Amino acid sequence: MPDYVRARPHLSGLVPGDPLHVREVGDGNLNLVFIVRSDPAVPGVVLKQSLPWVRVFGEGWPLTIERARHEADAYAVYRAFAGATNPVYHGFDPVRYVIAMEDLAALRIWRTALDDGEVHAGAAAALGTFVARVAFHTSDLGLPAQERKRLVARTINPELCQITEDLVFTEPVRIHDHNRYSPELEGVVAELRADGAVVDELSRLKHRFMTHTEALIHGDLHSGSVMVGGGRTVAIDPEFACTGPVGFDLGAIWANAILAQARAVQLGRPAGFRAHVAAILPDSWLAFRDELLRLWPERVDDSFTDALLGDWKRTIWHDALGFAGAEMIRRLVGFAHVSDVDTLDTAAKVAATTAGLAIGRRLLLEHRTLADPAAVRELVETGLSEHR
C-alpha cells in the first residue's frame, strides 16, 4: 500500500513523510477501506478498493467491481454542487478499482453516533439539502436534456440496482435464504408475507425504482452511509448510484431515522434525544423542499412550469414515504440489518422490530395519502407506543 501511494504523486503529496501508516477499516459488506497517514494522528488519504464479491457473504456471492467506477463517478458529479457534503475526491484508479478520497478523521458514522445517543444538530437538514441539489443538478432541471441523457446512459448500474431490487423490494416478503430475524418474529413476518396489499405496494415501488429516471440518486443513503462530526455532514459510499426516483434517497434517510427512534424508545433515551431523532424526517424534508425551491429559478429549461415543480415535489414526498416503508421492512427481516436494532437485547429487539414492521407496513399502504410530516409523526408515534 505505501508503494501504491508513493507511485502516485497526486496521492503521495497528501501524505508526505515516511513511514506511511496504513489501517484497514472497512466495515461494510463490499469493500476494503484503507486509511493512509504519515502521522497516525493527522488525516491523510482514504483508499477504497472494490472486492469482486459481497464481503460478508464470502466468495460465493460474486459482485462486479464496476461499482467502484459508479461510486467514483457519483463523487465526481456531486463535487460540482454538493460542497462539504461530498468528501474531497482525489480520483479513481480504473486498473485496480481504487477510489482515493478525503480521510474524514474527525467524523464518525452517523448510525453509530445515533446508536450512542449523540445529537448532530445539522445532519438532517444537510442531507435534505444534499438530496435537493442532486435532484436539481442531475435532473432535466439542472442539466441540458442531451447532456443529461448521456449521464443516464453512463451511470446505469445494472448489478447494484439488481441488489436493491432483490433485497429491498422482493426478498423480504418471500421465504429466502438471505432473510434473517429472531424466531420470536416468525408469526409477524409470516403475516407480512401473506399480506397482499404489502406485496402489491412493494411491486409498485419496485417498478417505480426501475423506471423513473429522475436524477442520479445516491441509492443507499441510510445513516451508515453518512458521516458526522464538527458540524459537518458527509454522504459517502454512493456505489449504488444510478438514475432513479429522488424519493428513494429521502426514504432511506427516513426509514433509518425511524429505526433509530425505535432504538431510542427501547433504551429509554432522554426526551431531548428522542425529539432530535424524531425531527430528522421533518427537518430533512423541509431542507429538501426549501433548497429545491431555491434552485428552481435556475432551471435550464423554462418550459418546466411551477405546476411541474409542485407535482414533482408531491411525487417525491409520497414516493419517499413508500420507499421508507420498504427500507424499514427489509432492514428488519431481510439480508442487511442495522445496528440500531440488532445490538438491542432480545426482548427490546423483538419489540423494536415489531414496531418497525408495523410502521413500515403502514408507510407502504398509506404513502399516497399521508399529507405532511405531522401525519407521518403521528403514524410513527402510534406505532412506537403500541409496541414498546
For the four alpha carbons of 341, 208, 317 and 360, in that order, the dihedral sign comes to negative
Minimum gap (Å) between residue 267 Cβ and a copy of itself: 36
3-state DSSP assignment of residue 301: coil
- Tell me the window of 69-77, 141-149, 353-361, 375-383 that interacts with a copy of itself (CB under 8 A): 141-149
Q: Report the interhelical angle of 306-333 vs 346-366 (nearest 10°).
A: 150
Contact, 167 vs 336, CB < 8 A?
A: yes
Select from 121-129, 152-160, 318-326, 379-387 the region that touches a copy of itself (CB under 8 A). Answer: 152-160
Which residue stretch of 169-177, 317-325, 353-361, 368-376 sits at the interface with a copy of itself (rule: CB under 8 A)?
A: 169-177
At residue 50, φ and ψ (nearest 5 deg) are -75, 140
Nearest distance in Å: CB 158, a copy of itself: 4
The arrangement of strands across the sheet holding 45-50 comes to: 21-24, 31-37, 45-50, 98-102, 89-93
Q: Is 282 exposed, middle or buried (0-12, 13-18, 19+ CB in 10 A)?
A: middle
Q: How far is the CB of 364 from a copy of itself (least distance, A)?
A: 12
Question: Of 7, 41, 95, 153, which one interacts with a copy of itself (CB under 8 A)?
Answer: 153
Tell the smallest beta-carbon distance from residue 325 to a copy of itself (Å): 16
| Among the listed residues 42, 80, 84, 156, the single contact to a copy of itself using CB under 8 A | 156
Q: DSSP for 91-108, please give it.
A: EEETTTTEEEEE--TT-E
Comparison of 4 and 317: residue with beta carbon closer to a copy of itself: 317
Task: Identify the residue among 108, 149, 176, 178 touching a copy of itself (CB under 8 A).
Answer: 149
Near a copy of itself in 184-223, by CB under 8 A: 196, 199-200, 202-204, 206-207, 210-214
CA gap 249, 323 in Å, rounded: 8
Q: How far is the CB of 285 from a copy of itself (least distance, A)?
A: 21
By rule CB under 8 A, what count of residues binds a copy of itself? 40
The grid cell for 23 is 489501517
**Of the candidate residues 6, 10, 150, 294, the single one contacting a copy of itself (CB under 8 A):** 150
Look-up of cell digits 396489499? 197
Task: Give 227-275 as a 3 state SS string.
Answer: EEECCEEEECCHHHCEEECCHHHHHHHHHHHHHHHHHHHHCCCCHHHHH
Cell of 337: 440489518
Identify the CA nearest to 267 among candidates 388, 110, 157, 121.
388
Minimum CB separation of residue 91 from a copy of itself in Å reads 24
Q: Which is nearer to a copy of itself, 50 or 266 (CB)?
A: 50
Out of 66, 93, 118, 165, name the contact with a copy of itself by CB under 8 A.
165
Footprint of a copy of itself on 70-99 (CB under 8 A): none
Q: Is 7 exposed, middle or buried (0-12, 13-18, 19+ CB in 10 A)?
A: exposed
Using CB under 8 A as the binding rule, the residues of this chain from 290 to 349 that contact a copy of itself are 303-305, 307-308, 311-312
For a copy of itself, the closer of residues 213 and 223 by Cβ is 213
Q: Which of residues 11-30 bind a copy of itself (CB under 8 A)?
A: none
Which residues are near a copy of itself by CB under 8 A?
Answer: 139-140, 145-147, 149-150, 152-154, 156-159, 161-162, 165, 169-170, 174, 196, 199-200, 202-204, 206-207, 210-214, 303-305, 307-308, 311-312
